[in-house]
Structure formats: C-alpha cells, structure tokens
Chain A
Amino acid sequence: MEKVAIIGVGYTKYAQNSPLTFAEMVFEATTKALEDAGITRDEVDNVVSVSSDFWDGRTISSMAISDASGAYGKDITTVEGDGTFGALYGMMRILSGSFGVSIVCAHHKGTESNMNGITNCAFDPLVERKLGLDAVSSAALQARRYMSKYGLLEEQFALVSVKNHGNAKKNPIALLPMDITVEDVMNSRKVADPLKVLDCSPVTDGACTLILAAERQAKKLTTNKKRVWMKGVGHCSDAFRLGDRDLADMRALKKAAKRAYEMAGISDPLKEIDFAEVYDAFSYMEPLWLEGLGICDDGKGCEYLERGWFNADGKFPVNVSGGRLSANPVQSAGLYAMAEAVLQLRGEAGERQLDGVETALVHGINGMCGQSHCVWVLGR
C-alpha cells in the first residue's frame, strides 16, 4: 500500500472569544500549514473539512469555509467529529487514487455558543435528551463507573490535571498553563460528581490544518525533515446509548488500537512507541484510554500515572502539549494533537521537545464517553 505523509501543519493560538470568525481562523491555520509545507494551494487538489454544524450555528458549514480553506475551484467534503477522523478520511481519499495533495482542516469556536446545550443535542431526542444529559454529566457517569470498577480515587484523576496543566507551561499556544496541586483540583468547584472544574477541559476556540501527500508527491514537494508518515490507523465504534455499554469497558478502543498497531507493525506499543497525545477532555479519560490503548493493563492506568510513567520525563510521556485539559477546541482538538506529534517527531517542539522520539501515538474520540475511537501511529 502507498504511504501517506503529513507534510505541513498550521494552527491558530488557542483562544476564548476569539475576534476572528471561524472562516478567518481556518484561513490562518491553512495559510500557515501551506507555508510550513512550502507549497501553494495550486498543488492541493482537495479539502477535507472537520466541523460541527450545531457548534457553527449554520448547516452545511463546510460551505462557509470553502474559500478560507483554499478549496475554491477544488473538491471539498466534510467530517463531523474529531479531527483524527478527518485525517483518516483525508488519508483514505489519497489512497483511493482519486486525489493527491490534500488539506485537512478543522475549526471550532466553542465560546460562541453553549457547550451543554449543544452536547445535549447529541443524545437521542426519543430517550436521553429529555433528561437533560450532556457531555459533562455523561462523562461524570463514566468517571464514577471507572472508579467503582477498579477501586480508583478522585485524587488519582486530579493528578492528570496537575500533570497536563503543568505540561502546558511549555506550550506557547496553550490556553491554561498552570501550576496546580492535587488539592487545588480537589477543592475546585464541583460540577458533576466526581468531576470538578479542574477535571474538565475549557471551552476553547481554535482551527488546525494538516497537509497530507502520498509518498511520491511528498518526496517531490518537501524535504525529508518535513515528512512524518501515517504508519498506522484504526477506528472502531460502540453502542450509541450510554446504558447499552459498560462505560468502563474499552472494547471499541482495544479494537481500534489493535488495527492501528497491526498496520504500523507494532507488537508492543509501550516499547515501540515513544510518546502519546491522548484524548483528555476530562481528567479520568487519560488513564482509561491508556488502558484501552494497551499501554497498561485494565485498571492500572492511575497506578502508573502515580509512578510518573506518563510525565514528560517519564517512561511514556502523555499529553506533553498540555492536552485537551489545557485547551479543547472540540472538532479541531484531534488535529492539534496530530500537529503536536508532527512537531515532536520533527524535533521542532521547542521547550517541550522530547529526546530522540521516532514514533508517536495519537488518539481521538467521537460521541459521548468515547463511543468511537480513532488511533494513529505516526513516525519518521
């Protein structure tokens, strides 16, 4: 199978109440990504946009950014979900043989609307929506289930928030770089038990763009240093209704990870992968997903977190960028995570650069409580 590379990345600085329209944000991110790749839009022949009509407040919102994303005169198509799924679609369009260099752009202006109201609309209007559930309250149900299944403590989840907000201090675009303690998290305002404010990611604005190219074009258009290969990808979804799943069972993620690792030729992810950007919109999610990703055994994520495995200087650094806890532009977050992995692999991550990293794991979710997962292995 032909290889596909990420040859350019661009993004806006994370913001709240950004004065830019979402189209202006897409334009900025895409312009930067094209500059990063060292190409012009003439060399691109299609665009995959990632957005949410509900969050944008208009339907068919990819049409609203077609000019801003450089798609004028080209093909544009849309993924509604996390950016990691948009990158998957972009790669598939290239591998279909129908398209060459592809732009994948994602935008999210969370501060223009009401997060709870919009995520409530993700639930079935015939059943759970009437109860008023949203992303936060459903995550709280999952966090409690995870705690009771494995005997975990809120203080252990708090440590994720401490670590990731601390990591954000070295990320110049982060929204919430903070020196905080477990006590600070525990004493922060209760939102939906067991989640406190500092267990939850901030509402954020941000756009991110990746430029993808098949091997032949990637080698023609860019230097070796710019190219990061999409070595493996896997995706898998679970039941829609929360009650139809065991919220602490990682069966969908395990399948997605297995497919990604097989494609990348990885048999022992902990040994063969150097670091990860894992979906952490809520603190408890990081250890839970790390278990599903096979980085540690079921129920052991918090124990290894406490031992420092996932610290920036640990055995397996996780969310060195600061993660979603430090900035979470929902649809774009997965592309930002992939862009972070690209910078790390190129050795361009500045103050937070990890030593000698060659292979990265990036994970995104779609749907409530990780109904669907997308797992990427990226490498030099």
Chain B
Amino acid sequence: MSDWKDDVEILVHEGKISVPYSWTVGSTLSRFYCELRDNGKIWANRCPSCGTTFVPPKIKCINCYEEPHDWVELPGTGTVETYTVVRYEEPSMHPRKAPFVYGVIKMDGADTGIVHFIGDVDPEQVKVGMRVEAVLEDEREGNILDIRHFRPLA
C-alpha cells in the first residue's frame, strides 16, 4: 500500500520580510562619519593604554577596554592587506555590479584594517601590498559609502 505522502503535491509559499529599522550610529561612529561627510577627512581613535589606533574608530579598545579618546586625522593612504574579486551578482545587497574588488586596507597611521572597495583599477591587477588612497564621494551622507573606494596611488 502506497503512502499518501508519496502522492501529495508539496506546496511552497513565497514570502519576504521587510521591516524598517532606525539604527543609532552612536557618538564614536557619528563623529567619524560627520568628519567624513562635512570635512572630507578620515579620523581614527587611539587607545591611551596600548596605543592601538582604530579605523573605523571604536568605542572601547578591543585589547584593554580603555576608551580610545585620542583622535587622529589619517592621511587617507594605506596598503592592501588582502582582497577578493567578487564575481557574483546580488543586486539588492551589492552597491555595485560584479566583478568588483573588496579589500582590507591598513591605513597609514592606523593599526586596524578597514574593509572597503578597491576601484579605478583592473580587478586582475590588484595585489596584496599595493599602495592605495581613499577616494571620497562628492555628495556625502554620513556613512561608509562616503568613501567611494580606495584606488592605487599614482
């Protein structure tokens, strides 16, 4: 005797969850984004105890939990620590079309890396150790995309 389950048509219900959020950016990151938006500057903060300099800035040092209250302006240049060429499309998620490059950039004057796009370069030419500089958007809104990308230093 056959099981009724062998014959049943399994239905699939399509759905989507769309819930708006308003996330506070907090005082530390707000200062970072306001400097970026209003003055076109990239600032980091430094732990007074261990000297680690964070970009984007941190509320607390991840090593000693001291408040990194020393703020330093970075020159906007750095070195590619690692990168990937993304070759798949996720239109609702990716701000640009594939192929594009993500990198972790060690900015000069900072000890941590910043993840961002590497642009103005053939993706196949990106290398670990490549020197790069931040390129800012002309119209800035106070978020991470105010940095358009990092491009190779001439």
Interface residues of A (CB under 8 A from B): 19, 57, 116-117, 120, 125-128, 130-134, 136-137, 140-145, 148, 189-195, 239, 241-244, 247
1/0 contact trace for B8-32 toward A, CB 8 Å?
0010000101000101011001000
Q: In this complex, what residue of A is CB-closest to B100?
A: A132
Interface residues of B in 84-115 (CB under 8 A from A): 84-88, 90, 92-95, 102-104, 112-115
Q: Is the pair B10, A144 in contact by a Cβ cutoff of 8 Å?
A: no
Report the minimal beta-carbon distance from B36 to chain A, rounded to whole angstroms.
Answer: 12
Contact (Cβ within 8 A) A192 B86: yes
Contact B102 A190 (CB under 8 A): no
How far is it, in angstroms, between the C-alpha of A160 and the C-alpha of B136 when the chains are bound? 41
Do the beta carbons of B113 and A243 come within 8 Å of each other? yes
> Are the C-beta atoms of A239 and B90 separated by less than 8 Å?
no
Contact partner of B92 (CB less than 8 A), chosen from A117, A131, A136, A137, is: A117
Top 7 closest A-B pairs, CB basis?
A243-B113, A140-B84, A145-B82, A132-B94, A144-B82, A19-B10, A193-B85
Q: How large is the interface on B (under 10, 10 to 19, 20 to 34, 35 or more residues)?
A: 35 or more
Residue of B nearest to A146 (CB): B82
Give the CA-CA distance A74 to B21 in the complex, in Å. 35
CB distance from B101 to the nearest CB of A (A): 9
- Subset of 30 A-B contacts with CB under 8 Å: A19-B10, A117-B92, A120-B90, A127-B56, A127-B144, A131-B117, A132-B93, A133-B115, A134-B93, A137-B84, A137-B86, A140-B102, A141-B83, A141-B84, A141-B102, A141-B103, A141-B115, A144-B84, A145-B104, A148-B82, A190-B87, A191-B87, A192-B88, A193-B84, A195-B84, A241-B112, A242-B104, A242-B113, A243-B113, A247-B104
**B139 to A: closest C-beta gap in Å:** 16
Contact at B88–A131, with CB atoms within 8 Å?
Answer: no
Q: Of A57, A125, A136, A137, which is in contact with the most chain B CB atoms at under 10 Å from its CB?
A: A137
Query: In chain A, what residue has the closest Cβ to B95?
Result: A132
Shortest B110–chain A CB gap in Å is 9
B121 at the interface (CB under 8 A from A): no
Q: Are B23 and A126 interface neighbours, CB within 8 A?
A: yes
**Is B150 in contact with chain A by the CB < 8 A criterion?**
no
Is residue B54 within 8 Å, beta carbon to beta carbon, of the partner chain?
yes
Q: Does B116 contact A (CB under 8 A)?
A: yes
Q: Are A141 and B82 in contact (CB under 8 A)?
A: yes
Determine whether the beta carbon of B95 is less than 8 Å from that of A130.
yes
Q: A19-B10, A137-B102, A144-B84 are in contact. List 7 more A-B contacts (CB 8 A).
A: A116-B90, A117-B93, A130-B95, A136-B88, A137-B86, A141-B83, A141-B84
Q: Check: B81 CB closer than 8 A to any chain A CB.
A: yes
Which residues of chain B have C-beta atoms less than 8 A from A189's C-beta?
A: 87
With the chains together, A59 CA to B143 CA distance in Å?
28
- B-side contacts of A143, CB under 8 Å: 84
**At the interface, yes or no: B128 with Cβ under 8 Å from chain A?**
yes
Which residue in chain A gives the minimum CB-CB distance to B24? Answer: A126
Q: Which residues of chain A are near B64, meaning CB under 8 Å?
A: none
Does B50 belong to the interface (CB within 8 Å)? no
Residues of chain A with a CB closer than 8 A to B54's CB:
244
Contact A242 B86 (CB under 8 A): no
- Determine the chain A residues whose CB is within 8 A of the CB of B153 once the complex forms: none
**How far is the CB of A140 from the nearest CB of chain B, in Å?**
4
CB distance from B134 to the nearest CB of A (A): 14
Complex CA distance for A141 and B145, rounded to whole angstroms: 19
Residues of chain B from 18 to 54 with CB closer than 8 A to chain A in the complex: 21, 23, 25-26, 29, 54
